């Protein structure tokens, strides 16, 4: 849909239109987000072509199942999978993927979710891969069965979860496996998939935040995963409330009909064959578990536009600008009670970050206190807060605007001198 776009199209629209912030009208002061595309702070800024697509999509109506079928084709192409679905975030993709695994095309099961009495609902997960996001898996009705230990974190051992432990947990109540993907996940996804498939069990992979690199869009599914989830509102820069579920067409179909609005007559209902295999359904289900996680036509179209920009490499054009901003901040902090260093990524796609290691004794304040004061100031500044315990702040440039760099420099210098 779009080729490489010029940088001005990626610039924050506020830089061009000097309008009073809509947030100010609501009594909120917009923040300086130096924390990255995190959900708590509203996710990533949508590029102008994405906003334009959102606006354009709002002007007409289309049947949502046909739009999801068109989205499925695009997602399948971008991910090398059979089919895809735009979901209400990656967390919703986890819920819908789990629902599909639990029900398949069984109408009775769809109607009962999240009650799974009478059919297998155990999902096996490595204990070390558990997080707040697995609530989304349990929300579909699954019961998690943990395997392995977290003994490295506990400093009580040297081993991580092993594939035999998954296999040992499989039984008549097992419905599938959930695997949280990162380049350092263990055991390797391929091994877990091979083991699960020996028992005819599907594997649902959470790869929500594992973009970039763009190669992960295809490589995760290529390892044999049956379903994979990605966030649409992180690196892809689509609407914050979107996500992608992709994988085997039968599972995507089962997820789609449990998410779409189903208020139609059996005789009239003609779902697109590319999305739903009508021949496998004994009837037409009513609203399913995912009806509470609906996605709008505008969100679907905007996400597809963002996915196009992401896969075409358009965002790489900004890396140099990000680097220059961080260098400006580094210079501004040269005499502060902190040492700064770049966190680099070797994939040529992930923006660098600036790590600010605070000399807490010299400053007389902890990193927690600095973080708190930055948030409480005006404008409020939010920095990466994942390493505060080690005395470090992290500045992620992804959501910053050119016009904010000067105030950000000033606020950091004030709090760190």
Ligand X SMILES: *Cc1c(COP(=O)(O)O)cnc(C)c1O
Burial class (CB in 10 A: 0-12, 13-18, 19+), 197: middle
Mark 74-111 as b/e (b = at least 16 C-beta within 10 Å).
bbbebbebbbbbbbbbbbbbbbbbbbbbbbebbbebbe
Query: Which of 84, 65, 368 is CA-nearest to residue 242?
Result: 84
The nearer residue to ligand X, 187 or 243, going by C-beta atoms, is: 243
**119 belongs to the binding site for ligand X (CB under 6 A):** no
Contact pattern from residue 76 through residue 95 relative to ligand X, giving x for each residue in contact according to CB under 6 A and a dash for the rest: -------------xxx----
Residue among 368, 110, 127 nearest 253 (CA)? 110
Residue 44 CB, nearest approach to ligand X (Å): 11
Q: Does 121 bind ligand X (CB under 6 A)?
A: no
Which CB, 243 or 274, lies closer to ligand X? 243
Task: Determine the interface stretch with ligand X among 48-56, 73-81, 205-213, 398-406 (rule: CB under 6 A).
Answer: 205-213
Q: Which of 100, 252, 112 is nearest to 175 (CA)?
A: 100
Residue 352, interface with ligand X (CB under 6 A)?
A: no
Which residue in 47, 238, 243, 397 binds ligand X (CB under 6 A)? Answer: 243
- Judged by CB under 6 A, the chain residues 36 through 55 that form the site for ligand X are 39
Spatial distance between the Cα atoms of 257 and 85, rounded to a whole number of angstroms: 11
Q: Label residue 196 left, alpha or beta by phi (over 0 means left) and psi (-120 to 50 means alpha).
A: alpha
Decide: is 141 part of the binding site for ligand X (CB under 6 A): no
Contact pick of 208, 333, 381, 383 for ligand X (by CB under 6 A): 208
Rounded CA-CA distance 15/31 in Å is: 15
Nearer to ligand X, 41 or 222 (CB): 41
Q: Out of 209, 213, 272, 377, name the contact with ligand X by CB under 6 A.
A: 209
* Chain residue whose CB lies nearest ligand X: 89
Distance CA 209, CA 232 (A): 9
Q: Taking Cα atoms as reference points, which of 220, 226, 218 lies closest to residue 200?
A: 226
Count of residues of this chain found to bind ligand X when the rule CB under 6 A is applied: 12
Does 174 sit near ligand X (CB under 6 A)?
no
CB of 311 to ligand X, least distance (A): 18
Residue 400 is a binding residue for ligand X (CB under 6 A)? no
Candidates 47, 233, 239, 274: give the one binding ligand X (CB under 6 A).
Answer: 233
Classified as helix, coil or strand, 61 is coil
DSSP strand pairing (353-358 vs 392-395): antiparallel
Q: Is 384 in the site for ligand X (CB under 6 A)?
A: no
Q: Using CB atoms within 10 A of its CB, is residue 273 exposed (0-12), middle (13-18) or buried (19+)?
A: exposed
Nearest to ligand X of 45, 285 (CB atom) = 45
Closest CA to 282 of 104, 141, 119, 68: 104
Q: Which of 237, 202, 245 is nearest to 101 (CA)?
A: 202
- Nearest alpha carbon to residue 245 among 262, 225, 261, 219: 225
**Interface stretch with ligand X, choices 186-194, 204-212, 313-321, 401-409 (CB under 6 A):** 204-212
Q: Does 133 bind ligand X (CB under 6 A)?
A: yes
In the complex with ligand X, the residue whose CB is nearer, 90 or 121, is 90
CB nearer ligand X, residue 92 or residue 367: 92
User: Minimum CB separation from ligand X for residue 86, in Å?
Assistant: 11
Q: Which residues bind ligand X (CB under 6 A)?
A: 39, 89-91, 133, 180, 206, 208-209, 231, 233, 243
């Amino acid at each position: 849909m779009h080729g490489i776009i010029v940088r001005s199209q990626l610039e924050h629209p506020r830089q061009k239109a000097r309008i009073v912030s809509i947030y100010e009208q609501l009594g909120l002061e917009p923040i300086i987000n130096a924390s990255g595309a995190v959900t708590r702070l509203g996710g990533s800024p949508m590029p102008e072509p994405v906003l334009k697509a959102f606006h354009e999509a709002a002007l007409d109506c289309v049947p949502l199942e046909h739009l999801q079928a068109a989205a499925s084709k695009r997602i399948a192409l971008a991910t090398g999978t059979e089919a895809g679905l735009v979901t209400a975030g990656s967390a919703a993709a986890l819920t819908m993927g789990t629902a599909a695994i639990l029900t398949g095309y069984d109408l009775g099961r769809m109607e009962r979710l999240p009650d799974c009495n009478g059919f297998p609902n155990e999902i096996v997960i490595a204990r070390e891969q558990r997080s707040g996001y697995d609530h989304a898996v349990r929300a579909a009705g699954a019961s998690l069965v943990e395997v392995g230990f977290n003994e490295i974190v506990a400093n009580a051992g040297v081993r991580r979860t092993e594939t035999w432990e998954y296999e040992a947990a499989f039984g008549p109540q097992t419905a599938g496996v959930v695997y949280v993907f990162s380049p350092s996940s263990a055991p390797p996804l391929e091994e877990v998939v091979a083991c699960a498939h020996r028992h005819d069990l599907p594997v649902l992979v959470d790869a929500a935040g594992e973009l970039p690199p763009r190669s992960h869009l295809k490589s995760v599914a290529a390892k044999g995963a049956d379903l994979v989830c990605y966030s649409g509102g992180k690196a892809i820069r689509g609407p914050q409330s979107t996500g992608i579920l992709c994988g085997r067409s039968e599972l995507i179909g089962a997820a789609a009909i449990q998410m779409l609005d189903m208020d139609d007559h059996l005789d009239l209902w003609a779902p697109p064959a590319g999305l739903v295999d009508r021949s496998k359904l004994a009837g037409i289900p009513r609203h399913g578990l995912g009806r509470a996680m609906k996605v709008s036509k505008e969100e679907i179209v905007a996400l597809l536009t963002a996915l196009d920009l992401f896969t075409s490499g358009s965002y790489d054009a900004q890396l140099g600008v990000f680097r220059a901003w961080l260098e400006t901040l580094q210079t501004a902090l040269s005499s502060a009670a902190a040492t700064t260093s770049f966190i680099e990524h070797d994939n040529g796609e992930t923006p660098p970050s600036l790590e600010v290691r605070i000399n807490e004794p010299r400053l007389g304040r902890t990193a927690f206190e600095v973080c708190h004061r930055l948030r409480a100031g005006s404008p409020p500044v939010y920095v990466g807060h994942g390493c505060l315990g080690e005395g470090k702040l992290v500045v992620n440039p992804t959501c910053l605007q050119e016009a904010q760099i000067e105030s950000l420099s000033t606020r950091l210098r004030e709090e760190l001198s």
